[in-house]
Structure 1
Amino acid sequence: MIGAVLAFAGVAALINITPGLDTLLVVRASAAQGRSFGLAAASGVLVGCLAWGAATAVGLTALLTASHLAYDVLRFAGAAYLAWLGVLALVRSRHRTSTEGSSVTQEDTARSRLAAFRSGVGTNLLNPKAGVFYMSLIPQFIPQGAPAFGTTLLFTAVDLVELAIWFWLVSGAAHALSERIRRPSFRRRMEQISGVAFLGFSVNVLAEHRG
């Protein structure tokens, strides 16, 4: 079992550090709003991954690989959500020009962190690739004779720990860069870049076809 866990951990680590939507979300929130917001977004992503892992353990994500309709429904919903995030980021980048330096209450900060968390949950749960990742990758590493349910949850926990470490490092680096530059224009530019990237991810999701 130890060998299987180590093998899965190595493959999952390579996949986790590959730039993608979840990492972009954490980087954007950390650079544009602060590290605590990036970590809130990361927490949302981890909750989504936990849900996918649990669904894989009980076999629910098999629907995504067996049903084109279920996959497409989730794909279109995810694309629409990404498009909304992209437009929101672009609008926010323009709105920052008139709100830089204005006072922000603790209630506003808490609400923004909650929004970052929800974005993390939403982008992950509405991404069918996340479900397919767990459903297609984890079974390959389950040793013969090992309990599928418990082993799936174990591998999910390994993946979550790796993601948490990765997001911690990424959020710290993005926030440090933002603090070093300390220019409002940089944070606005980050919002603009991420907005365009979210729209690009949305188009990419819509253009996908299952083989």
Structure 2
Amino acid sequence: MSLFLAFLGVSFVVLATPGPDTAITIRNTLLGGRMAGVFTALGISSGQTIWALATSAGIVALLVASEPLFLAVKYAGAAYLIYLGFKALQEALRPPHRQDTETVARPARRLTAASAYRQGLLSDLGNPKMAVFFASLLPQFVPPGGESFSALLGARSSPS
């Protein structure tokens, strides 16, 4: 039980610390409202689930051990965040439409649920620090003598 409480405590600290996932959630909430924020958070949660499963299966250890692969994920994630920033600037700098002689405020383009989810997922998967985080933190909570894959998935190993 103490292992579980320690895991909950560490998880809370990690979740409360702002980072790129927090920034994209705030951005998408401002662009698309509550629904876009919720779907962005769901995409981020899906990405974290994928990282946790990849850690459990040992795939993340390969990513962390291979500097070229780690850098490829890092640069792909950075490029995606730059792309999203460029698109936001482009949208903000677009001149408003004119109708007759009056200037009409341009209606805000709403962010769809699918787009918000995809942005959250790709933002999280493009962050190689998540791989390092999961690879270094999750194994600390595997019970001694247990199979790491099943233990990290939450399954209890049967005694031999």
TM-score of the pair, normalised by structure 1 = 0.65
What is the deviation of 1:97? Answer: 4.6
Q: How far apart, CA to CA, are the structure 2 residues paired with 1:37 and 1:83? A: 20
What is the deviation of 1:150? Answer: 2.0
Q: 1:48 matched to which residue of 2?
A: 47
Q: How far apart, CA to CA, are the structure 1 residues paired with 2:142 and 2:18? A: 26
Q: Secondary structure at the match of 1:119?
A: helix
- Partner amino acid for 1:55? A
Q: Against the structure 1 CA distance between its residues 97 and 15, is the aligned structure 2 distance closer, same or farther, given a 3 Å change threshold?
A: farther
Show CA shifts across 1:124-157 (max 9, x none): 11110111111110011212122311221239xx
Q: Secondary structure at the match of 2:153?
A: helix
| Unmatched segments (≥5 aa) in structure 2 | 98-103, 156-160
Q: 2:71 matched to which residue of 1?
A: 72
Q: Secondary structure at the match of 1:34?
A: helix
What is the deviation of 1:93? Answer: 2.0
Show CA shifts across 1:89-114 (max 9, x none): 1112234854846497xxxx5x7221
Greater share of residues in helix: 1
| Unmatched segments (≥5 aa) in structure 1 | 156-211
Q: 1:175 matched to which residue of 2?
A: none
- Partner amino acid for 2:140? Q
Q: 1:126 matched to which residue of 2?
A: 126
**Aligned ranges for residues 167-186 of structure 1 at < 5 Å?**
none
Larger radius of gyration: 2
Q: Secondary structure at the match of 2:145?
A: coil
What is the deviation of 1:43? Answer: 0.9
Q: How far apart, CA to CA, are the structure 2 residues paired with 1:121 and 1:89? A: 18
Question: Does residue 117 of structure 1 match 2:117?
Answer: yes
Comparing both chains, which one has the higher relative contact order based on Cα–Cα distances under 8 Å and sequence gaps of 6 or more?
1
Identical counterparts, % of pairs: 36
Give structure 1 regions of 4+ aligned residues with deviation exceeding 6 angstroms: none
CA RMSD of aligned residues (A): 2.2
Q: Against the structure 1 CA distance between its residues 65 and 19, is the aligned structure 2 distance closer, same or farther, given a 3 Å change threshold?
A: same
What is the deviation of 1:83? Answer: 0.7
**Aligned ranges for residues 1-211 of structure 1 at < 5 Å?**
2-95=1-94, 97-98=96-97, 100=105, 102=107, 112-154=112-154
What is the deviation of 1:53? Answer: 0.8
Q: How far apart, CA to CA, are the structure 1 residues paired with 2:39 and 2:105? A: 22
Q: Against the structure 1 CA distance between its residues 54 and 102, is the aligned structure 2 distance closer, same or farther, given a 3 Å change threshold?
A: same
- Partner amino acid for 1:132? V
